[in-house]
């Protein structure tokens, strides 16, 4: 009967220890670094009218999320319209619904029906939201209207940057995440500050 050589036993023992150490290191890295992005989709309503915009209006930033990729829209609404969103708006911001007609397997609910309205595209990266595209939301604002050559609803190129601040006490249902950022609407003008609170999710019929 052959005896187990000490060198061979030491080799296999060292290999086993190395595998265990590497496994623990990979596990720690995955738990600390490979985290899914937070849920930031929803309708963010500005806490005050944007500079130069009608005093009764509020800017509404709608964000639809698919992992790191975002779609959205920016428009102005009156208080009553914000408090009572239409079924289409509710469907578009419901993160749990699925659009059976969507061709993109990663798209969230309402993306097909809202494709014409969701004119902003971007992504969530490095704890920051970036959206860019066209909107007519700022046509009624004085600062923007002063630069327009005609009072027509011509889409305007904008870029929105900001961060989503989660509530300090998640157990309190009254607190909602806030979007803090700015809207760049002209390369030669200062950006418009935007701070908005996300509206609570509206239940969608059939879910």
Domain boundaries, the chain: 1-35, 42-198
Q: What global pTM score does this model have?
A: 0.66
Bridge partners (DSSP) of residue 192 are 183
- Which residues are paired to 159 by β-bridges? 132, 184
pLDDT confidence tier of residue 179, bands split at 50, 70 and 90: very high
CB 205 within 8 Å of CB 195 = no
Tokens 């619904």 sit on residue: 97
Residue 46 has pLDDT above 50, yes or no: yes
Average pLDDT over residues 126-145: 84
Least confident of 81-95, 121-135, 153-167: 81-95
Report, as an integer, the average pLDDT of 153-179.
80
Q: How far apart are CA 22 and CA 197, in angstroms?
A: 44
User: 10 Å Cβ neighbour count for 65?
Assistant: 20
């Amino acid at each position: 009967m052959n005896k187990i050589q000490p060198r061979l036993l030491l080799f296999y023992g060292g290999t086993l220890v190395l595998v265990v150490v590497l496994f623990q290191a990979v596990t720690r890295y995955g738990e600390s670094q490979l985290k899914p992005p937070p849920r930031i989709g929803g309708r963010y309503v500005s806490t005050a009218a944007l500079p130069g915009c009608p005093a009764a209006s509020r800017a509404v930033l709608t964000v639809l999320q698919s992992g790191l990729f975002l779609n959205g829209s920016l428009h102005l609404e009156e208080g009553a319209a914000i408090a009572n969103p239409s079924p289409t708006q509710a469907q578009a911001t419901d993160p749990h619904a699925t659009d059976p007609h969507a061709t993109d397997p990663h798209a969230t609910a309402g993306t097909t029906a809202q494709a014409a309205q969701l004119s902003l595209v971007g992504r969530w990266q490095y704890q920051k939201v970036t959206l860019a595209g066209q909107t007519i939301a700022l046509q009624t604002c004085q600062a923007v209207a002063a630069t327009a050559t005609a009072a027509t609803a011509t889409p305007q190129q904008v870029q929105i940057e900001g961060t989503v601040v989660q509530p300090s006490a998640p157990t309190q249902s009254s607190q909602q995440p806030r979007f803090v950022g700015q809207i760049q609407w002209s390369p030669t003008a200062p950006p418009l500050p935007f701070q908005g609170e996300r509206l609570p999710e509206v239940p969608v019929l059939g879910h």
